[in-house]
Amino acid sequence: MNLGQAKLILIIAFTGLNVFLGYQLFWPDFGRLTEVAVTTEQLRETEQKMEENNYILETQINRSQLTSDFITVTPSWEIRQEFLYQLIKSGVQIERIEHMTYYHADDMLAIIHTSGLIQLFYHKGISLEDEIVELDENDLAESVKSYLAVNNLLPENITFDYMEKISEGRLALKYHQHLDDVPIFSGQVKVILEDKKINAVEIYWLDPSERSPKREMEVISSAEALNNLVSELGPSAVKRHITKIDLGYYSGEYDAEKWEVPPVWRIVFDNKQYYYINAFTGNLEKDIVIPDQL
């Protein structure tokens, strides 16, 4: 073999290697080599099934193969104790009924549940410094966040989640907590604005105390979560649009010292209806995180 033939063989070998590596990096359906959980064909089949049932996918979905674990949580007693200290220091009348304690003040009623849920009701409402009529959604969320911080009602690791219109002149802003940039949808702060004033605040915060890395395993794909939800809900009489799908943690509210929270796919319809699919079992989580009492 002469030198020219050897060079040619090397060039062919390197070209083949580059093609092989290029497919792994850039071709989304190159099997398990790229850890893709949802192929293009599977995505088409999912979209077709959804459309047949009157559901329209209007957001990008994560097509990667992901892993997750359980987290163990406890209600945030630190937040509750700090709030109790502020209440008692200000001078309030205390009334205990069953599993709730009522704190009466001239301008506010606070209710603390044994589950860790805190509810505040302002009799005359609290005006924000900014004219909220002129603020967009994100600016309004930041303005409300500033109020929470000044009044020691702002837990750490809080992220604005969404805003919804309850009725004319009444809005709800929701914030959730996160762990290592992964949302914990169960832990949240809900603020009600009525007639451009803060009318009520609801806090249900969790302290993640343990993770289970030994139990980390693959979660179902986002496409499988969508298919399971459509099967659970059945055909829709009207068109419903899926506007967001995220992986996070979720469980119902428990009156317990601690419990495990599984990973879920949260699927959002029309920016206002939220469903949670267990990312390990594929089942629809039917529990409600916080009673909608505000």
Are 141 and 198 contacting, i.e. CB atoms less than 8 angstroms apart?
no
Shortest CA distance to 63 belongs to which of 37, 43, 40?
A: 37
The amino acid at residue 180 is D
Q: How confident is the model at residue 255 (pLDDT cuts 50, 70, 90)?
A: confident
Please say if the pLDDT value at position 199 is more than 80.
Answer: yes
Judged against a pLDDT cut of 80, whether residue 134 lies above it is answered with: no
pLDDT reported for residue 90:
78
125 plus 200 within the same structural domain = yes
Asked whether residue 129 falls in the same domain as residue 226, the answer is: no
Higher pLDDT, 96 or 26: 96
121: domain CATH number is 3.30.310
Instruction: From 207, 228, 257, give the residue that closes a domain.
Output: 207
Single out the residue of 79, 110, 80, 78 nearest to residue 95, CA to CA: 110
Parent domain of 198: 75-207
User: Is the pLDDT at 286 greater than 80, yes or no?
Assistant: no
- For residue 19, tell me if it sits in a domain: no
User: Of 157, 192, 207, which residue constitutes the final position of a domain?
Assistant: 207
Cβ atoms of 145 and 175 within 8 Å: the answer is: yes
Identify whether 219 is part of a domain: yes
Where is mean pLDDT largest: 47-51, 93-97, 132-136?
A: 47-51
Looking at the structure, do residues 91 and 183 belong to the same domain, yes or no?
A: yes
Alpha-carbon torsion angle 152, 154, 156, 158, nearest 10? 180
**What pLDDT does residue 250 have?**
93
Q: How far apart are CA 113 and CA 67, in angstroms?
A: 35
State the CB neighbour count (10 A cutoff) for residue 82: 13
Residue 292, domain member (yes or no): no
pTM of the full structure? 0.78
**Do the domain assignments include residue 1?**
no
Tell me the percentage of the chain whose pLDDT exceeds 70: 81
End position of a domain, from candidates 187, 207, 227:
207
Name the domain count of the chain. 2
* 52 domain residue, yes or no: yes
Interatomic CA distance for residues 171 and 124, integer angstroms: 16
Residue 12 within any structural domain of the chain: no
